Amino acid sequence: MLIKLFRSSLKNILTNKLRSVLTVLGMVIGIASVTIMVSVGESAKKWIEDSLNSTLGTNVMFLIPGSEEDSNSFDPTSFFAMLEEDDYEIFENETIEGITAHSRRNVDTQEITYRSKSENVLTFIHDIGYAEVFDVDFTSGRNFTEKDAQTRKKYIIIDTVIEDKFFPLQEPVGKEIEVEGKTFEIIGVVDDPNQDPGGSGDATASIFMLMDTYSQVFNQPIEYDVISFRIQNFDEKDEIEAEIIRKLKDKRGLAPQDEADFNIQSQEDFLETSSEITDMITTFLTVIASISLIVAGIGVMNIMLVSVNERIKEIGLRKAIGAKNRDILVQFMMESIIYSIIGGVTGLILGSIIAIILEKLAKLPELISITAVVSSLSVSVLIGTVFGVYPAQRAAKLSPIEALRAE
Tell me the residue ranges of DSSP E strands in 132-220.
137-141, 155-159, 176-179, 182-191, 206-210
Residue 62: phi and psi, rounded to 5, are -135, 135
Within 13 Å of residue 377, how many CA atoms lie on the same side as its CB?
Answer: 8
Residue 332, pLDDT score: 85
Residue 199, pLDDT score: 38
Residue 273, pLDDT score: 75
pTM of the model: 0.61
Per-domain boundaries in the chain: 2-51+273-405, 60-266
Residue 4, pLDDT score: 57
Cβ(211)–Cβ(106) below 8 Å: yes
What residues contact 337, with CB distance under 8 A and at least 6 apart?
381, 384, 385, 388
Which of 219, 222, 249, 259 is CA-nearest to residue 69? 259
Which of 134, 115, 114 is CA-nearest to residue 124? 134
Distances (CA, A) of 348 to 23, 71, 400: 16, 38, 40
Cβ(190)–Cβ(137) below 8 Å: yes
DSSP state of 16: S
Cβ(227)–Cβ(82) below 8 Å: no
Residue 52, pLDDT score: 64
Q: Report, as ranges of residue numbers, the positions in the chain whose pLDDT lies below 70.
A: 1-20, 22-23, 51-58, 67-81, 192-203, 403-407
